[in-house]
Amino acid sequence: MPSPLRNGDLRSPAVVRHGQNPFQSTVTEQKLRRLNALILLLRFAAFCFSLAAAIFMASNSSRTPGSPSWLHYPSFRFVLAANSIVSVYCLFEMFASVWEILKGGTFLPESMQLWFDFSHDQMFAYMLLAAEATGTGVARDLHGDGACDAAGAFCVQAYISVGLGVGGFAFLALSALLSGFRVACYIITGSRFHL
């Protein structure tokens, strides 16, 4: 016979005895899968934007002598390197997210995976932000000096690359927020996700 609780709630003796709701673990697991799917989506978007930014910057040169190239500007080299590194990182993290969604466990030990994700998401997001800020400064200086008049396509492609990199930063920053949420849940409750 169910035992009455306050406010008219009823629970079965087994639930009262163990102090748990039998559906809580299922609901928590569904929430964890949704959170992991959202993180996977954000990392996929960061991967696409960063890869596109790296491709745009790498192809931003002309074969005619005397025309500008991304190789002539250290800031544009930094933009290319940062976006390439973030693309590789996001590819690894997408693999780890798919592994976690399919297997129900983390690729690395749980605490190590959570701290790895959180710290690297932040580090690479800051690196992208710094790269895009320096790239924007150089592109703006080129436009102000009138260098873009002679090589208009070069400047436009540099702006596109920097803009795509900023998009990659935005998605990686959102991913870092969710990784931080997962770390906070782990510290507070001892599990990856618990509401």
- Domain coordinates of the chain in residue numbers? 42-189
Cα dihedral 171→122→53→35 (10° resolution)? -30
Q: What is the mean predicted confidence (pLDDT) over 145-169?
A: 79
Greater confidence, 178 or 25?
178
Q: Which has more confidence, 113 or 13?
A: 113
The 10s digit of each residue's pLDDT in 67-103 is 666 677 788 889 999 999 999 999 998 988 888 888 7
List helix spans (H) across 62-109. Answer: 74-103
pLDDT of residue 4 exceeding 60, the answer is no
Q: How confident is the model at residue 13 (pLDDT cuts 50, 70, 90)?
A: very low
Q: Identity (one letter) of the amino acid at 3? A: S
Phi, psi torsion values for 69, nearest 5 degrees: -140, 155
